[in-house]
Structures are given as structure tokens and as C-alpha cells.
Amino acid sequence: MKLKPLGDNIVVKGLAKEETTKSGIILPETVDKEKPEQGEVLAVGPGKILDNGNRSIMEVRPGDKIIFKKYSPDEFKIDGQEVLILSQSDVIAILE
């Protein structure tokens, strides 16, 4: 199934972040069960309609890796894959 977000919504696949302890042990993200704060953009909406009738420009594109506010995304499971949907205003930065 292909998702087509509306307005300024963005579909994101969360990126697991692993941490390494001082002794070299790798701790996967699932240890603390926190929501991801980074992800890869899968799909982007056309932009929010502004008061003047024009659409806002979307600053992220599919394939961008982004940092977003921790508790902003809604979580969904589509075809067995967990995805996050958030608004462009919840994106803090694009990772380059």
C-alpha cells in the first residue's frame, strides 16, 4: 500500500539509534522503549493551504533524514511496517 499524506503531513520511518557504553556494549533503542526522534522521510504532502489560498512550500523531501519533536508523531502500522506521521512544523532539522 502506498501512503499519500495530505496537507503538510509527512510519513516517516523511525530510525533506531544505538548507543555504545564505555566498555563497548551496544545498547539498542529498545532498551529504554522511548519513541524515536530521528527518521527517514517516506512521503510528503503537498503543503498546507494558507489563508491567502496558496500552498506552503514543503522543506523536506522523501529520502531526507530528519530530527523531530519526540512526542509529536502519530504511530501507525501499514502492511506490517511501523510508520510515523507528523506535521512539517514538528520537524526540527534535516540531517546532512
Domain ranges within the chain, ordered by starting residue: 9-91
pTM as predicted:
0.77
pLDDT > 60? residue 33: no
Calculate mean pLDDT across residues 1-16.
89
pLDDT > 50? residue 31: no
**What would the pLDDT profile of 37-61 be if each residue is shown by its tens digit?**
899 999 999 999 999 999 999 999 9
Which residues on neighbouring strands pair with residue 10, listed in sequence order? Answer: 44, 86
Class of domain 9-91: mainly beta
